[in-house]
Chain A
Amino acid sequence: MDNARIKMPGLQYRGVSNIDGPLLFVDSIRNVAYDELVEIETPGGELRIGQVLDVSSTSAVIQVFGGTESLSKAGTRTRFLGSALQIPVSKEMLGRVFDGLGRPKDGMPPILSAERRDVNGFPINPYSREYPRDFIQTGISAIDIMNTLVRGQKLPIFSGNGLPHNRIAAQIARQARLLSEDVEFAIVFAAMGVKYDVARYFIDSFEESGVLNNVSMFLSLADDPSAERLITPRAALTLAEHLAFEENMHVLVIITDMTNYCESMREIATARGEIPSRKGYPGYLYSDLASLYERAGRLSDGSGSITQMPILTMPSDDISHPVPDLTGYITEGQIVLDREMFQRGLYPPVAGLPSLSRLMKDGIGKGRTRDDHPRLASQLFAAYSKVKDIRSLASVIGEEELSPTDKLYIKFGEEFEHKVISQGEFENRSIEHSLELGWEALRILPRSELLRVSEEELKKHFDQEPALAVSEEVRR
């Protein structure tokens, strides 16, 4: 890591008083600021960087991003660099690959930009935000009709080990209409603790769809030091903010895997002997995650946007685990993947009921998608939730014993899962097509069951069989 040399003035100290996990304790220091960046030189002469977590008049606690292995108490030198970690930001960074701390990793020259930004950013003033309401067509019915994504939203994918979250994220990145309009777009991709294959999969997918030059990647892979992951999403979002709010671009940020990020945080907290809250995670996990997820949105004085799609794997598929739970409390909805649907071969296995998009309400309907969209979605949710109840009843009394209406619900459930939710990985459906598929599924049910849609909508979409636009599978 010899490219880590950051030449800046600063006092250098020799020797540390303690080394504990990712933490260094240094005594007899002066003029060290909270949050300050530290350059650490190993006895072997290798440079790593760290950050001050706690400082008093004479001592400091430093978190080392490069890991503390091969450091020794006597042989380690520390140099305090006088400011928080900053990265350069510029449009030139598109088409490039960086490590978890924002340093070039693709063998290309460093970024020569005068603009450097503190990776922690500053909170967006709620007064200066613009409420996001521009519909993004992803071409995936499960998202477009049921959990609509809008520009500037933070919508995570709650997944589990082995589920196809990467394929879905790549499909969204490929098809999202925000990319094909004549606006400037960019994708910022941050990987924390995932295998190289995952990064490779995304690179290939971006390359195939010819957008690689609009992508900037920050990779802190599984074999990189764990503490580095705490910086990676911040570095990525710092660039995204520059692109969106200074260059007026529409930026899609994909961050994977938030669970690894949270584990790194737990590691640091444990090493510091902090009082844990749930499952050993520190009590400030919520605030820390919010400091990332809230870096999405739009501003009232600019035309760019940051749309965030964090991916996380739920340990043992448990949605009440602190990582998905606290994420759900901050993000504007969640796309939940369902193992059982996956097992049944459905793609994308988007769970019907626990998935939610909160910004959908203002992004759809008249003048945005179509008049009937809000109520149609509500009706589909209501009907599908009944399907779940009836299926569990059927498993007790047997399907034959169900009432005629309940049998229709079972049929609706099948149709909904196979025709509406599931689709090809390269199938790009228009919103009109998706909505028609929704109505078609509803036609299985008796009219009197459909109380969520209006009488008018029933007349228009339910009573007459419309000529369904032929499936518009678009392959890119």
Chain B
Amino acid sequence: MQSEASVNTGIITRVNGPIVEARRMASAGILEVVEVGGLRLIGEVIRIRGDVATIQVYENTGGLLPGEPVYCSGRPLSVRLGPGLIGTIYDGIQRPLEQIAASSGAMIERGEKAEPLDAGREWHFEPKAKVGDRLESGMVYGEVQETMSVSHKLMLPPGLSGELVELAAAGHYSGEQQIGLLRKDDGSQVPLSMFHYWPVRRPRPVRQRLALIEPLLTGLRVIDTFFPIAKGGAAAIPGGFGTGKTMTQQALAKWAEAQIIIYIGCGERGNEMTEVLREFPNLIDPRSGRSLMERTILIANTSNMPVAAREVSIYTGITLAEYYRDMGYDVAVMADSTSRWAEALRELSGRLEEMPADEGFPAYLPARLASFYERSGRVETQCGATGSISVIGAVSPPGGDFSEPVTQHTSRFIRCFWALDRDLANARHYPAISWRNSYSEYLPETSVWWKRQDREWQGNRDFLMDILQEEVNLQRIAKLVGPDALPEQQRLTLMIAEIIKNAFLQQNSFDDIDMYCSPEKQLWMLRMLVSFSRRAREIVRAGGSIADLMEIDELNRLNRMKSEIKNDDIAAMATLEQNLLREMDALERKLKR
């Protein structure tokens, strides 16, 4: 946070956990950043009554005394934007955790004031405009290669426009150095540097919102094939503890086809952030061939860090996402877990003695959720590029019961619902995304893309989905009479469903091959399962039995194709296909004789 000359000083009158009241604050603004007490803890004004301001403090308030000063800053809580964000791990208010560790050691002490971006670091600047050009808000005037996979566009901060009267030549400059000068229409001049601030609670403006047209491929079959999310879409992953929300989010952060990943650990475990931090630099992005950390920003406000900063962390994250979207990138935001964010709201609201609505949550919970998810989307940016933000929020319902307020309200604002199922997780069927309770409203948009890859795609997908749904009904009967009492065709459906679950839906994140499944391989696996099922049905119709089918040697290979055949091993796919169909032909011929 920058410490500017303070404009006003108030006096603490009350301390109640993260909520502090101060008087002599009549001139403060709502959402203004303040520094509280002798330690200058960072806070934000959230209510003003008369000359008393209510402040939520982003650090532990132990030891604060009534009578201590409150310093106003005159500006709203903001993030600092510019090259150097990628690859960094920040806390909820954009303080870099590496610098904090360097100054206060392994335990985070209070009153730390680390700068989000390294002002001294030099970047190679390429001008992308000429002196004399008229620049509108958000237009690009330069470029910096931030990492090997991210070229960072320097855009005029939104709201600013005018004529470019100076611009530095190509060369190395530090982030805070002046590299240009803009004359506004009123004649005043504004120096330009690579850095600027943006208030976290205000969405960055765009030219227009665009329709969603493409899937955000994730490499997870159950998502891509059955419950796809579109680029610019919003999805929720609700599930009880240990059902796989974090694993799914991490898998998406690794393999989703986005150019920038913002991973927000919001009120969750410290070790999970450490894991990402240690693992990502060593993983290679299958598309860019570069380290995954070169496209990732981490926001870590873990469960033991101050609760008010947890509330703000998701805004910090989404604002960074908007910044890269504005450059024309496809950004994916993971928020784990939005329930902890909602609980932070609840805790603060309780301390403010507001009237609670459902289960103690404040009445404005749905409005806040809506405005967060609304920041996703595919847009034409102010500089004329096309960018998108896809938001994937984990939801942690108490007792795994989806009827609670956060899950319920969230489902109104997202269009893709990946319901995690306790029974699947218990059976270690991962990802435990239920094919009964999940849905995606992006299917129509995304299927266009899939059908371009394979005209049969829709039919194949629906074919497998029908079998899975039919199985649900058959299981109900089988539970009463035993599967052996069912007719052979129905038992075949059960058998095929079992194969679909094993061979297609289950995907172990730790399997060297299967942790990521390319779209080509998904298409092929889908075709294989459909042709196997169709042939199997014919065989049974022709008098064959399940036992005959179980004898097929290649069935074992079919069941193991996900982890035995590499994503690009087309030869192995062809061989399996031929052998399997040949065996089935033979079986059919035998029956006909």
Contact = CB atoms under 8 A, between A and B. Distances in A.
A301 to B, nearest CB: 7
A448 B98 contact: no
Nearest to A358: B242
A448 B65 contact: no
B302 A329 contact: no
Interface in A264-296: 274-278, 283-284, 286-287, 290-291, 294-295
A456 to B, nearest CB: 10
A283 B15 contact: no
A284 B14 CA distance: 20
Contacts of B274: 126-127, 129-131
Contacts of B378: none
A286 B480 contact: no
B64 to A, nearest CB: 5
Interface in A365-393: 374, 378, 381-382, 385-386, 392-393
Interface string B479-523: 111111000000000000000001000001010000000000000
Interface stretch (B104-112, B134-142, B384-392, B439-447): B104-112
A385 B346 CA distance: 38
B346 A122 contact: no
A31 B65 contact: yes
A107 interface: no
A284 B360 CA distance: 11
Interface residues of B, number: 79
Contacts of A300: 106
Nearest to B303: A290
Nearest to A351: B426
Interface string A231-249: 0000000000000010000
List the 6 shortest-distance A-B pairs measured between CB atoms, nearest first. Answer: A290-B303, A320-B399, A35-B62, A385-B427, A122-B107, A328-B241
Contacts of B556: 448, 455
Given A123-B304, A127-B100, A393 B241 contact: no
B482 A297 contact: no
A374 B512 CA distance: 13
Contacts of B21: 56
B396 interface: yes
A104 interface: no
Interface stretch (A20-28, A161-169, A397-405): A397-405
Nearest to B102: A127
A301 B101 CA distance: 11
Contact of B97 (A125, A359, A451): A125
Given A329-B396, A448-B550, A283 B302 contact: no
A284 B273 CA distance: 22
Contact of B428 (A36, A125, A385): A385
Indicate the member of B428, B478, B550 with the most A CB atoms within 10 Å.
Answer: B428
Interface in B235-281: 240-242, 265, 267, 269-271, 273-275, 277-278
Contacts of A401: 482, 484
Contacts of A83: 63
Contacts of B400: 320
Interface residues of A, number: 81
Contacts of A358: 242
A108 interface: no
A423 B356 CA distance: 51
Contacts of B541: none
A381 B508 CA distance: 14
Given A34-B17, A403-B484, 11 more contacts: A57-B66, A122-B109, A123-B107, A123-B304, A123-B305, A128-B107, A275-B356, A277-B359, A287-B307, A374-B510, A381-B426
Contacts of A287: 267, 303-304, 307, 343, 347
Nearest to B356: A275
Contacts of B423: 385
A149 interface: no
30 contacts: A33-B65, A54-B14, A55-B14, A56-B21, A118-B62, A123-B304, A125-B97, A125-B101, A125-B107, A126-B271, A126-B277, A127-B277, A275-B350, A277-B346, A283-B360, A284-B307, A286-B340, A287-B304, A287-B307, A297-B271, A320-B400, A329-B396, A332-B271, A334-B242, A353-B427, A354-B426, A382-B429, A393-B479, A403-B482, A454-B560
Nearest to B112: A125
Contacts of A275: 350, 356, 360
B202 to A, nearest CB: 28
Given A301-B106, A455-B560, A277 B340 contact: no
Given A120-B62, A290-B303, A125 B271 contact: no
A367 to B, nearest CB: 14
Nearest to A55: B15
A291 B15 CA distance: 20
Contacts of B478: 393
A440 B179 CA distance: 71
Indicate the member of B271, B305, B563 with the most A CB atoms within 10 Å.
Answer: B271
Contact of B426 (A31, A333, A353, A452): A353
B13 interface: yes
A275 B107 CA distance: 32
B479 A396 contact: yes
Interface string A308-330: 00000000000010100110111
Interface in B515-560: 550, 555-556, 559-560
Contacts of B399: 320, 325
A361 interface: yes
B189 interface: no
Indicate the member of B270, B273, B346, B510 with the most A CB atoms within 10 Å.
Answer: B270
